[in-house]
Structure 1
Amino acid sequence: MRGSGSGAESGPGTLHGSRPGAESGPEPGHGSGTGSRSRSGSGSGATGAAGVFAAGRPVSGALLVVGDVVTDIVARHRGPLASGTDTASVIRTLPGGAGANVACWAAHWGCTDVRLLGRVGADAAAWHERELTACGVRPRLVVDPQAATGTVICLVDTGAAAERTFLTDSGASLRLGPGDWSDVLLDGVGRVHLSGYLLFSESGRALVRTASASARARGVPVSLDPASAGFLVELGVDRFLSLVEDVDVLLPSRDEACLLTGVPDAVGAAAALSRLVPLVVSKQGADGALVARDGTVLARVPAAPAAPSDTTGAGDAFTGAFLAALLTGADPEAAVSEGCRAGAQAVERVGGRPPTPDDETAPTRGRVDIR
């Protein structure tokens, strides 16, 4: 559940101003119990300057993202961690989750109707709803009566590469299941994006099958980001590939593409994957991205220049902007260029979400620093 968000106006434990949610059925699979509630918000339509990409171009339906919503604790340190003692760090608590981040970046990049289906605990439901709405996302958050909101600790080495390591407690996020799905969610939707983290729980895998089948029945294309090479190893390559048979667009990282194909070089791996999935967009970090179809790499798109501060959520930013561009009618190569631009913006911010209007006037909003 990589990726963290922009600064928050209050911490995740602050539940003031919440609105009552409508009752929904219990989730099968992981036994979430009865009494789950859903919280539905209306996006504010807040988009940044990047949203001009969509200006004057027709938008072909809404984007529905199905995925994880988590609370990120981002600890930025310089150099190796000091084992057995203290390491000086700057620590922030931020809203995050790969699925949530993708939704926020898509809205920031000009997609005027972005919807998110996710599952959270009662401990942080109102906070996450406010943060998503502030980014222009329409959240439908199922409140889990038993599990707390997922939490990810992001350890960011502030050296030149700003590389990061994640410690993940999935909490409520991976308890999202078919019982939380309704075909009504597809009304007016032009694209569905599934967070790959859904594949790492039994109920999530069942939801991927359900959502993919529903989208296919309506002719709505589906994209998926594999999410984590580490979790892919645990799941197994063959199992993963069987779960994405109905996916139209796959967005792996370089490492994920190589793992899924057994091909050691990035170009060969992207080409091999594109024999299994109609369109493959392989994210290459500082080297940009590859576009592959029918066993051939069709384009190599360079990265946009950036001075990395925190690479958390850069891939989510790429995916959100890429999907927003596709919905405005861009071809895949042009959409990938937009993804690279968004990724470059993301690595220059702490956390994985785009700026909101409040960020410009309150740059330390929601910040908790421990030195």
Structure 2
Amino acid sequence: MSVNKKHSAILALDLGFAQYPNEEDQEFQGKINFNYNYRRINFTSQYQIGSYYLSEYAFSQLTDKNEKYKKLNTSVYYSSNAFKEKLGITSGLSYTDDNIYGKSPSAFCNLKWHARVYDFFVNSSLYNYSSANVRNNIFTIEAGVTLNLQKATLSTKKKSDIYAFAFYDKNNNNIFDTDEETASNYLININNIAFKTDPEGKILYKNVPFGKYRLKQSIQEGWYYDDQMLDISQYKLEIAIPLHQNGTVAGHINYEFDHKTAVDFNPRANGITLNVFRDDILIETVSTDDNGEFISFLPIGNYTISLNANSLPQNTYCETERTHFSVKAGELHTLPEFVIKVKEKKYIRRNLEIK
């Protein structure tokens, strides 16, 4: 920080090695972050090599297994107020380049006029997407009015004690069975406060004001618990937190057709939806991205995935819409590609008799 406190700059370096799924050796990964502030201007830049998240690794493997994941992100933001703090202005420029989404510049400008009871706002953004042979420009603008109601506050008069118990739910029935183990030294996040369980898998959060709290999801060593909202309205609350093992499933679609015989159609890659079932119960719905790829993080077990034919472009179909698969803890399972075919033109043959 400068002497006059108008300038500040931070440079951070994060280096290490990681063991990726389906890889025998550890691989290098690193990040370099730079941040600079001057009055109302903020500049941030980050360069990353190697996957820090399982989703980055999974998508980069689908794109090119021989190329290590790399990402560059640079942005600059400006914020200011005018007319005695009644008008708020925020704007920014951003540029991202990585193996998965390609080059993506974007910009935005937001205006907000604050009155005592009402707020008037106008938001606009411009986004450019470029990957391989696909290019897309999106411009959006929205305007509206918000009514400033009295904010809900946590009651400081009534307080509760939260007793939480975490355990490894190996059979995924959300019940602590006699052959299952308690989760000791596991981090539980309630709002922005982290607790570590004791040897019996328990935590105690005392003197919590009545109100709504969020149990935030956390994945540690392949085990996770589901997000949930806690409505604290009693003086003592006991909750069980079952931990589940998760794995990753990824897949993609591919068009197969003959240019000469295929009818007209729109070869759209994104927005194709697939439903994931477990024991004939719908678990979740996933959608393909601009590269025709999709990914899902699921608890261990056996599943069925079904392509939604209604989401396909007109004049196309998929002969094999359903497939079965198993999810194993900490592993990436790649599904066979869903081949989308195109209807063919109908030709009428006429036999001419020459005399």
> Same fold per TM (> 0.5)?
no
TM-score, structure 2 as length reference:
0.21
Q: Whose helix proportion is higher, 1 or 2? A: 1
Per the normalisation by structure 1, the TM-score is 0.20
Name which structure has the greater RCO, CA cutoff 8 Å, separation 6+. 1
